[in-house]
């Protein structure tokens, strides 16, 4: 039996896209049980769907750009045939608290990327911001060490 079927049987409330974890069938029964218990314990941290995202209250993230001036890039041209799609995606993200209107001096252009299933991924080109961002001098811990 494929692993994703086993996970969906034992973990109620886990989002559909999280039940197909692709860990393979080579796990030993105890390993499979450990994975199921771990996922069940932390099931509340998974987004239920694409609209279950947004802001985290009580924490902020600052990007250190040193003394650089704000970068305000012009929007990229969007074909009129796709403008409605952009408006719809923006409205959905605003409605679900993923984005919010701003009058910031900073602006980066959107990039629309077609996914394999034909839907559109709404991306932002932060290349110029990344170029001026001061990088952290300490390495992030490895995920397997955190778990």
* CATH number for position 137: 3.10.10.10
pLDDT at 115: 92
When divided into structural domains, the chain yields a total of 2
Cβ(120)–Cβ(113) below 8 Å: yes
* Domain with 34 in it: 3-45
Residue 16 is predicted with a pLDDT of 52
Q: From the first residue on, what is the mean pLDDT of each consecutive set of 10 residues in the chain (147 residues)?
A: 43 52 71 82 76 75 92 94 94 89 95 92 95 86 81
**Residues making up the chain, counted from first to last:** 147
Q: Within a domain: residue 52?
A: no
- For residues 112 and 139, membership in a common domain is answered with yes
pLDDT at residue 76, rounded to an integer: 94
Do 77 and 37 have their domain in common?
A: no
The pLDDT score that the predictor gives to residue 101 is 93
Asked if residue 51 belongs to a domain, the reply is no
The answer to whether residues 65 and 35 belong to one domain is no
């Amino acid at each position: 039996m494929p692993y994703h079927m086993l996970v969906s049987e034992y973990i109620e409330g886990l989002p559909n896209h999280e039940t197909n974890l692709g860990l393979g069938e080579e796990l030993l029964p105890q390993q499979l049980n450990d994975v199921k218990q771990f996922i069940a314990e932390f099931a509340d941290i998974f987004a239920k769907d694409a609209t279950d995202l947004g802001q985290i209250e009580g924490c902020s993230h600052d990007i250190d750009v040193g003394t650089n001036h704000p970068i305000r890039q012009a929007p990229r041209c969007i074909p009129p045939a796709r403008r409605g799609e952009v408006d719809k995606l923006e409205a959905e993200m605003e409605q679900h608290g993923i984005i919010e209107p701003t009058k910031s001096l900073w602006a980066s252009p959107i990039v629309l990327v077609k996914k394999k299933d034909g839907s559109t991924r709404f991306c932002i080109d932060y290349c110029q911001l990344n170029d001026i961002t001061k990088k952290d001098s300490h390495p992030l811990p490895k995920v397997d060490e955190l778990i």
